[in-house]
Structure 1
Amino acid sequence: MGNETSLPMELCSNFDADEIRRLGKRFRKLDLDNSGALSIDEFMSLPELQQNPLVQRVIDIFDEDGNGEVDFKEFIQGVSQFSVKGDKESKLRFAFRIYDMDNDGYISNGELFQVLKMMVGNNLKDAQLQQIVDKTILFADKDEDGKINFDEFCSAVRSYPEVPAGHGTALTVWK
């Protein structure tokens, strides 16, 4: 990654040139087929991601062009959101996007159910999970339109100070 590649990435991320170079090495190591992009299988080659039920959602969000793979620019922009230098607003926006599966700007009852189901698997019966989802919507949906917009999401997450802002699993504490 030369300066001509890393300079624009510095402008669209929370990383400096040295961090981008290090991430470039990591990216190339993960890019097992040398295609210049990471597939779900290549991401899953990381042991720390193999048990994470939200990996596919994270990849979907990183994959800005929707081609099913994450290129280096998408990788840098995506990982940048997790940087300690990143602002809370970006972290909250990322967490919101985990739940907003159809990217319409709202978290619906069905979307919240689907994402929480990914997290809890079969540890809860669907009826129990639906109760949690319904209570969450009632708690967070201040304008009573049956769905959660970004501002409502932020207010709900911030009302739980023991949960760090930006952690997508924050909604699971609403029981």
Structure 2
Amino acid sequence: MGSGGSRAAQVPDADRIRRETGFSQATLLRLYHRFRALDSNKKGYLSRVDLQQIGALAVNPLGDRIIDSFFPDGSLRVEFPDFVRVLAHFRPVDDEDTGTRDPMQPEPLNSRMNKLRFAFQLYDLDRDGKISRHEMLQVLRLMVGVQVTEEQLESITDRTVQEADEDGDGAVSFLEFTKSLEKMNIEQKMSIRILK
């Protein structure tokens, strides 16, 4: 037996997950091995504690928020398919991914719009569809730490919200968020090379 086919069989429901996430068979297998390595007690799922072992998340100022995204609706565990779906948002966009997509198929998880939705939810803590001044301030505080004074931070927050808030309601909607990031290459900023 060839090692590629027999090893890929270890990934449960691999074909469906590959279609859904766009990951190659080799990447999916690597992610499955990483998932199993993080599952230190061999429970078959990951907890917050398991994800906190990931060094890149431990040093990322938004690490806790990213970990939260693995546990929607207060869930206490993430199984492999959901683990991979979250990571798919960080899969780089391939040139062949654009322009050849069947419009009847769901938008890829790593599309610009889905990357923006993912980023928006890191700010919108109360899930009300808007980023309030308070939520923006919390995120900026995490990102800059003690490098700026509280007064400077509040000024940056006010300016950021004011510039993005087109309807004047004092908060940033998803549409306003996407417009404010229109010129940013979000596809590259929200990519992890190993997730090809």
* Superposed CA offset, 1:2-60 (max 9, x none): 56522332233121333222211111011112122223332232333221121110111
Which residue of 136, 142, 145 corresponds with 1:118? 142
Query: One-letter code of the match for 2:22?
Result: N
Greater Cα offset, 60-69 or 18-27 = 60-69
Q: Which has the higher contact order (CA 8 A, sep 6+)?
A: 2
The normalised TM-score by structure 2 is 0.76
Task: Tell me the matched-pair count.
Answer: 165
- Distance of aligned partners of 1:7 and 1:65 in 2 relative to their CA distance in 1, 3 Å threshold: farther
Corresponding residue for residue 171 of structure 1: none
Corresponding residue for residue 106 of structure 2: none
- Distance of aligned partners of 1:3 and 1:29 in 2 relative to their CA distance in 1, 3 Å threshold: closer
The normalised TM-score by structure 1 is 0.84
Which residue of 128, 133, 145 corresponds with 2:152? 128
**1:38 and 2:23 aligned:** no
Unaligned runs of 5+ in 2: 1-8, 94-109, 191-196
Contact 1:100 1:107 in 2 (8 A): yes
SS of the residue corresponding to residue 72 of structure 2 reads coil
Q: Post-superposition shift, 1:67?
A: 1.6
* Superposed CA offset, 1:49-89 (max 9, x none): 22112111011112234223332122111000000132111
Instruction: Kindly report the root-mean-square deviation, in angstroms, between the aligned alpha carbons of the 2 structures.
Output: 2.0
- Distance of aligned partners of 1:113 and 1:64 in 2 relative to their CA distance in 1, 3 Å threshold: same
Contact 1:62 1:77 in 2 (8 A): no
SS of the residue corresponding to residue 130 of structure 1 reads helix
Query: One-letter code of the match for 1:165?
Result: I
The structure having more radius of gyration, on CA atoms, is: 2
Unaligned runs of 5+ in 1: 169-175
Which residue of 26, 35, 56 corresponds with 2:34? 26
Greater Cα offset, 116-125 or 21-30 = 116-125
The runs of at least 4 consecutive aligned structure 1 residues that moved more than 6 Å come to none
